[in-house]
């Protein structure tokens, strides 16, 4: 596994949200979490901010399979649409796909599903940067 991807998986905030692994292959990313008491809003459903964060993490995770160690990517813009809620005990599967990777920008589509039914979608734009050493 890519060392950079492992650092994303092991980030304390991501672990708190329930991320245990991220798949990253040919620009596609996948991760899953189980909705629990720590990730719900006061109404008892998956917090929209958690969906936002994990869409961004999934997008970045997939992109890591296409960029080298001298390149970094940061979120330039993100638009998330939540269509349905998820409740405690639901497993939410996130998947990302690169739409276009250019020299300076990368466009990524992300979808979140519960039992195969889409609950959210996101369009993520990452700025692609050369890392200074």
**What pLDDT tens digit does each residue of the chain (133 aa) get?**
589 999 999 999 999 999 999 999 999 999 999 999 999 999 999 999 999 999 999 999 999 999 999 999 999 999 999 999 999 999 999 999 999 999 999 999 999 999 999 999 999 999 999 987 5
d(CA 16, CA 103): 33
Show the beta-strand stretches assigned E in the chain: 22-25, 28-34, 71-82, 91-101, 105-114, 117-130
Residues 111, 60: contact at Cβ < 8 Å? no
Domains of the chain and any CATH numbers = 3-130 (3.10.129.10)
What is the pTM assigned to this prediction? Answer: 0.95
């Amino acid at each position: 596994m890519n060392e950079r991807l492992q650092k994303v998986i092991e980030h304390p905030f991501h672990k708190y949200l329930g991320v245990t692994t991220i798949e990253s292959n040919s620009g596609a990313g996948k991760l899953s979490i189980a909705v629990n008491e720590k990730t719900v809003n006061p109404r008892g459903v998956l917090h929209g901010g958690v969906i936002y964060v994990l869409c961004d993490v999934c997008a970045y995770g997939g992109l890591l399979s296409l960029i080298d160690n001298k390149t970094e990517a940061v979120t330039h813009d993100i638009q998330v649409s939540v269509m349905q809620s998820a409740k405690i005990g639901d497993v939410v599967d996130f998947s990302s796909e690169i739409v276009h990777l250019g020299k300076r920008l990368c466009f990524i589509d992300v979808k979140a599903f519960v039992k195969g039914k889409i609950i959210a979608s996101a369009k993520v734009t990452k700025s692609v940067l050369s890392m200074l050493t």
